[in-house]
Amino acid sequence: MNDIIAIVVVNYNGYNMLGNLFLRCLDSIVEATLNCPYAKFKLFFVDNGSTDKSASIAKQKNFIVIQLKTNLGYAGATYIATKYIVKKFGVPKFLICLNNDIIIEKDAFCKIIKTIFKLKEQFKSFLATPLLINGYTNRLDHGGHFVDPSGTAWSLSLVLNFNLLSQLNKPIFLSYCDGAFWIMDNVALVKVGVFDHRFFMYYEDVEVSLRAWSKGIPSILLPIIAGTHYRSATSSFHREVLYYILRNKIITLKNYFGIKGILMALLYYGFYGFRLLDANIVQNYSYFTKQIFRNNIKDLYKNSRFIIRALIDGFTLRKSIILSLASSYSFPYLQISPKDFCSTKRLIGRIINELKKAIFKSLYYNKLYESDFHKCKYE
């Protein structure tokens, strides 16, 4: 192990898709690291078989370029990059994974680095993620994530606003850390490993965080806004995305929630039509109808073979030898019941209450824990 902080940026045709945003992303990372002279950084750029000049641009900006022949997705690229880093430089003090559509704010980044060094004094090991601003809406892009027993992910941004954020001075325990800006310390890297390369994209951040929780390694939200995220700027909806979302969700549910999780997921989707009847109470109704209803339901016939294949692969794909099956519910999650699925109003109301409880639980436990996290059991 060493004191290097390895920053990994995963890319696929970023320059062609993002243009100036891609350049600003790389420049902001370089500038942010130069603004933290007390830490040693190494910048890595993993190119997923791009056909544009993304890799040459990154090389000009002093990134160490890891060139892949084919697109292995976010999970696969990170997995390969981590193996390369460990073999070439040893286990880094921290591993930071970033999307190529994030503009880092240099002062905030410096504060994040100071915070994770401080956390390292309190925890033997951890995963962490900061906050980001959505570049399209100028609101919180995510506020940390929790899952419920159906495998559905919910963001703290449903209850977390800028006023409440200004009052938070302690980290919050999460179900999982967002892969867009993902931090792992050296102990977690050795004990847990990184993303499961089979996931390709989507849900890899959920799975690895739950895997870490099963080993007593928490996922933590840092109440610091790291920068601006233009989420999904390099991807759009297509049937392969639907396949990976559903397949990877089933794999995660099967490994960490068991048969109860599968049944809860079936109920969640089975009552989807009922929830649409009062979906107008959701603030982002237009977003949900566009992303979920129009894209997934309207073209259901054409999507059906991808759905069937995802279901088959999700139930039959074996657990990788690098993973260890977690004990159920060994992590913080949102408690819901099947009757909550019948109504969007009821479901969102329950989720909001659960998220508020999760914040207060974290703040309470933050007052109790000592250097060893295992002395503070999260129930």
Identify the CATH number of the domain in which residue 150 sits. Answer: 3.90.550.60
Single out the residue in 170, 195, 229 at which a domain terminates: 229
Q: What contacts 24+ positions apart, CB below 8 Å, involve 362-369?
A: 362/170, 362/171, 362/172, 362/173, 363/168, 363/170, 363/172, 365/173, 366/170, 366/171, 369/122
**How far is it, in rounded angstroms, from Cα 164 to Cα 129?**
18
Residue 45 has a pLDDT of 94
Q: 118 with 215: CB under 8 angstroms? A: no
Can you say whether the dihedral through the CA atoms of 146, 298, 71, 133 is positive or negative? negative
Question: Within this chain, do residues 200 and 348 fall inside the same structural domain, yes or no?
Answer: no
- Are 87 and 111 within one domain? yes
What's the CA gap between 110 and 156, in Å, rounded?
24
Q: What is the pLDDT of residue 29?
A: 95
- Number of Cβ within 10 Å of residue 38's Cβ equals 8
Residues 246 and 361 in one domain: yes
Domain encompassing residue 250: 239-375
Do 105 and 214 reside in the same domain of the chain? yes
Q: Which residues contact 243 (CB under 8 A, 6 or more apart)?
A: 306, 307, 309, 310
Say yes or no: 262 and 370 in one domain: yes
Per-residue pLDDT tens, the chain, 379 aa: give them. 578 999 999 998 888 888 899 899 999 999 999 988 888 999 999 998 888 888 899 999 999 999 998 888 888 999 999 999 999 999 999 999 999 899 999 999 999 999 999 888 888 899 999 999 888 888 888 778 898 888 888 888 888 777 777 667 677 888 899 888 999 999 999 999 888 888 887 888 888 999 999 888 999 998 889 999 987 655 554 667 777 777 888 888 877 887 888 888 888 877 777 776 665 544 454 544 555 555 555 555 566 666 666 666 666 665 543 344 444 447 888 888 888 888 888 888 899 989 888 887 776 555 444 333 333 333 2
Residue 206 shares a structural domain with residue 288: no
Give the pLDDT of residue 244. Answer: 76
Regarding whether 279 and 137 lie in a shared domain, the answer is: no
Q: End of a domain among 182, 211, 229?
A: 229
Identify the bridge partners of residue 10 per DSSP, sorted by sequence position: 46
- Total structural domains within the chain: 2
Query: Are the CB atoms for 17 and 233 separated by under 8 Å?
Result: yes
Are 367 and 222 within one domain? no
Please check whether residue 234 lies inside any domain of the structure: no
Residue recorded with tokens 């088959």: 312
pLDDT at 235: 53
- Entry pTM: 0.81
Q: Is residue 138 part of a domain?
A: yes
Are 28 and 113 part of one and the same domain? Answer: yes
What single DSSP character describes residue 327?
P
Q: Do residue 147 and residue 282 come from a single domain?
A: no
